[in-house]
Every structure is written in structure tokens, then in C-alpha cells.
Structure 1
Amino acid sequence: MSTGVWSSWQIWALLSATFAALTAIFAKLGVEDINPDLATFIRTVIVLISLALILFATNQFKSPGNISTKTWAFLLLSGLGTGASWLCYFRALKLGPATLVAPIDKLSVVLVALFGVVFLGERPSTSNWLGIALIAAGAVVIVLKR
């Protein structure tokens, strides 16, 4: 799995986008009759069980070895960010249509670009910035054309 098409970050990114799109549809249907926070909890438990099964099946469930404090701190912050994002996302899906919630949620792409520049020193090219601007404009158009 480390060679060929499966080692391409682009393939994994497209799969991520596909699963995220399906997640929005399934979540919208799943959150209709329950509290969105409970729905988020159920989803999180399912994610944890699924990941544990994948780790066991691929013999990767081992001691991670020495993990630095910095790594733990950033993984903790990432986990808290994920939890907050999921709680907000499910609440938004409970209250609004998936066709509007998902594009606004994808403004995270724009924020990642901005944060990447500020915090990671990344320098997107002019064409990258154009794409980022188009994503932002698209989200705005979708919401305003309601």
C-alpha cells in the first residue's frame, strides 16, 4: 500500500472529500430526530471503534513509543478542534439544509490557507490564492442565492 496510486496524497484527498460529502448527507438524515450533541457523540464512538478495528486488522495497534510533549499538545488541540467542529457542524445540520451548511463548512479551506501562511510560514502560489478566493466566493454565492 506504500507504492503506486495509494501513496498519492491527491487520491487520499479526493477520497476524504467523497467521504466528507457522504458524511454530510448521512448526518443530515441521522440528526433529524435526535439532539445534535448526542448524534455527535454516537458518531465519535463509531469513529473510535472503526479506527481501532483498522489498527488491529493492519497490526498497527502498538505502543507508539516516545511521543514528545509538543506532539501531545498539538494532538490534544487538534482533537479539541475536531470535537468543536463536529458539534457545530451537527448543530448547523440540525438547523439548516445540508446544501448550505456544507459549503459554509468548507470555508475551512480558506481558513487553513490563511492560518498556514500565518502560523506555518507557507506561501501559496498566485494560482493557489485564486483557487482559495474562488472557494470563498462560491460559499458566499451559495449562501446569498438562497
Structure 2
Amino acid sequence: MDNTPNSFRIFDSPLKTLWPNPLNLICFQYFCRMWIYWGLLAAVFLGLHNITKKISVRENAVFPVLFFTTLSSLGVLVPLFIGSVCFPEVLQSWGIFIPSLPWEQHFYIFIKSAIMCGSWILGYSAMKHLPITIVSPIRSAGPFFTLLGALSIYGERPNTWQWLGFALIIGGMLWYSRVGKKEGIDFKRDKWIFAIIGATFLGSGSGLYDKFLVHYQHLNAQTVQFWFCFYIVALMALVCLFYRWKSPEKVTGFDWRWSILATGIGIVIADFCYFRGLEDPSAMIMLLSAIKRSQIFISVFVGGWIFKERNKRKKMLPLFAVLLGVGLILYAS
């Protein structure tokens, strides 16, 4: 039985005889590493998503922003669900069909929604109170937490260069803590620093869980995205209602901004690219997580310029250490 992936079968066609042998090798390596390119695309849209998220939460109520962001994401995916019900053959031919799921798989996706709901609440709250040039580098330490899970759960084994890369990432985070103190941010006492660290930890756990959903439950990108957004909208609605009932005096005014819609659309595109990469059987979640965090370029350079944040030059060296760590991981792989 031929187990060759569909995207590789072009090399079994008669056209391959027209190509020089080195070109065959280059093209084959390109297709074998398509999950890397999906990861880089996810990083681009994730960086843009972080910028619009910062615009959305600045001097705004966090919970309503998060609710309408996830509602916007769900709105993008609803047409796929309707099309899958009404025109299943068409969407199957386009590769974006959302099949019906048993209750067991719904429960698995609900767990992911609960994890990410906690991560986003912490992350959005921290983004509101901290500079984007502090938040984004801390989030870039996510691959370290993913590494621990990849070692213990999936048996992924890093080599010496990969260990060095992760050491550089953590060292860069510690370096950032010294820069952050110059902006009045005490990394040992600021609760929003702990919030963004918690968000990073939960996000890494969700990334490890994604591999379980895709590789072991055999769910495709759009199916996970749609039901994930559906459940997280329901969870955020409950969170908003509870917070309004429990602490009405702390509820601040909500200001609708079009950046909220852009944030919802951006995360849908970023997640779609990420899950497409993860669908590749050869994809390693440890490396894909690291590639995703290269979005730090956009967040720090573009975000720092838009929001006119301080000490951007001093943040370049620890940023370089983080990116060098990510680069070593990719090189070693």
C-alpha cells in the first residue's frame, strides 16, 4: 500500500524525468518542510494579531474585548460550518469541510477551549497593563515549556544545539527583566508579569494538546478552530456575566473598535496556518512552537514604533538572544 502523502505524489509523475536530479531533491525537501512555512506564516499573522490586540485593550474593558474578539473569529468560521452542512461535497473538494463529531471529541475540544480561555484572560489583561515590547518576548519563551511537554509526553529528544537554543531564549527573558525595571516594571512583584507568564504556560499546554487533537484524534484545522471558537465564546459570555455580577464596581466602560474585528480575523488566519503545519505527520510541536514565536520581530519592531514605547534599542540585544535561540533550534533540526 502506498503511504506517500498526496502533496508528494507529484514526484511519481512522468514530469519528474524532465527535471535534473538536484532539482528533484530541492523540490522534495521544500515539500517535506512545508510545515515550517506554515509556521512562519502563522508567526506573521500572530505578530499582526498582537498589535491589533494591544490597540483593542488599551484603556478598554478586557473581558468584553476578548468576548467580541472570539465572537469575530467564530463569525469568520460560521460560513464554513453552514457550507459543510448544505454543500458537503463542495467543501470536501476544497479541503475545508467540517465533519460532524462524536460527543467524546467535542469534550476534547472543550478542554482546549477552557485552557485557552484562561490563557487569553491572563494574556489580554497583561497586554493592557504592560508594554508590548515586554509582553511579546515573554510569550516567546513558550517553546521552553513546550519542550518540557514534548520530552515527557511525545518523546521528542532535543540535541545539544537545541538545548543551547532554549538556554538562549530563557537567558534573553532574564535580560529583558533588567530592561523592564527601567520602565518601572518589577518582574518579581508585578502581578501582570505573573499573568503573562501564566498565559504563556497555559498557551504551551494548549500547543501540546493540539498535537493530541490533530495526530491522535485526526481532527483537521477548520474543525478544531470552529468548535474551539464556539465553546470559547460560550465560556467568555459566562465569564463576562459572572464578573459583572460579582464586581460591578470594577466593570469599566467598553469601547468598540474595529481593531477588535481585525484581532479576531488575525488569530483565525494564524491558527489556520499553524494547524495546517501541525497536520504534517513529520511536524514537531516543539519546533513549530519555536517558529511561531518569531512573531516577536513584528511585535517589538512595529508595535514598539506604533505605541512609542521606551528603551527599544536596549531591548534589541535580548531580542537578538531570543531569536538566536530560535535560530539554533531550527538549524539543529
Give the match's secondary structure for 2:219.
Answer: coil
In the alignment, what sits opposite 1:12?
Answer: 195
Structure 2 residue 311 is the aligned partner of structure 1 residue 102: no
Aligned counterpart for 2:266 among listed residues 77, 81, 97: 81
Aligned counterpart for 1:135 among listed residues 310, 322, 329: 322
Q: Is the contact between residue 110 and residue 135 of structure 1 (CA under 8 Å) also seen in structure 2?
A: no
In the alignment, what sits opposite 1:34?
Answer: 219
Change (3 A) 1:124 1:6: closer
Aligned counterpart for 1:43 among listed residues 217, 228, 233: 228
Structure 2 residue 270 is the aligned partner of structure 1 residue 111: no
Task: In structure 2, give the amino acid aligned to 1:130.
Answer: L
CA deviation string 1:82-114 (max 9, x = no partner): 111111122222222101110011112232001
In the alignment, what sits opposite 2:88?
Answer: none
Separation (CA, whole Å) in 1 of partners of 2:189 and 2:275: 31
User: In terms of mean alpha carbon deviation, does 19-28 or 82-91 score higher?
Assistant: 82-91
What is the root-mean-square deviation in Å for CA atoms of aligned residues? 2.6
Q: Is the contact between residue 107 and residue 135 of structure 1 (CA under 8 Å) also seen in structure 2?
A: no
Separation (CA, whole Å) in 2 of partners of 1:111 and 1:98: 22
Give the match's secondary structure for 1:124.
Answer: coil
- TM-score normalised by structure 2 residue count: 0.38
Unaligned runs of 5+ in 1: none
Structure 2 residue 244 is the aligned partner of structure 1 residue 23: no
Separation (CA, whole Å) in 2 of partners of 1:18 and 1:117: 24
Unaligned runs of 5+ in 2: 1-187
Task: In structure 1, give the amino acid aligned to 2:329.
Answer: I
Change (3 A) 1:7 1:46: farther
Task: In structure 1, give the amino acid aligned to 2:236.
Answer: L
Q: Is the contact between residue 304 and residue 312 of structure 2 (CA under 8 Å) also seen in structure 1?
A: no
What's the CA shift for 1:6?
Answer: 10
Q: Is the contact between residue 103 and residue 139 of structure 1 (CA under 8 Å) also seen in structure 2?
A: yes
User: In terms of mean alpha carbon deviation, does 34-43 or 123-132 score higher?
Assistant: 123-132
What's the CA shift for 1:44?
Answer: 1.4
What's the CA shift for 1:117?
Answer: 2.9
Q: Is the contact between residue 6 and residue 12 of structure 1 (CA under 8 Å) also seen in structure 2?
A: no
Higher relative contact order (CA 8 A, sep 6+): 2
Task: In structure 2, give the amino acid aligned to 1:17.
Answer: T
User: In terms of mean alpha carbon deviation, does 43-52 or 100-109 score higher?
Assistant: 43-52
Give the match's secondary structure for 1:121.
Answer: coil
Change (3 A) 1:6 1:92: farther
Structure 2 residue 277 is the aligned partner of structure 1 residue 92: yes
Count of residues in Structure 1 that have an aligned counterpart in Structure 2: 139
Change (3 A) 1:124 1:92: farther
What's the CA shift for 1:18?
Answer: 0.5
**Aligned residues: percent identity?**
18
User: In terms of mean alpha carbon deviation, does 20-29 or 43-52 score higher?
Assistant: 43-52
Change (3 A) 1:7 1:53: farther
Change (3 A) 1:59 1:117: closer
What's the CA shift for 1:37?
Answer: 1.6
Give the match's secondary structure for 1:74.
Answer: helix
Change (3 A) 1:127 1:48: same
Change (3 A) 1:80 1:59: same
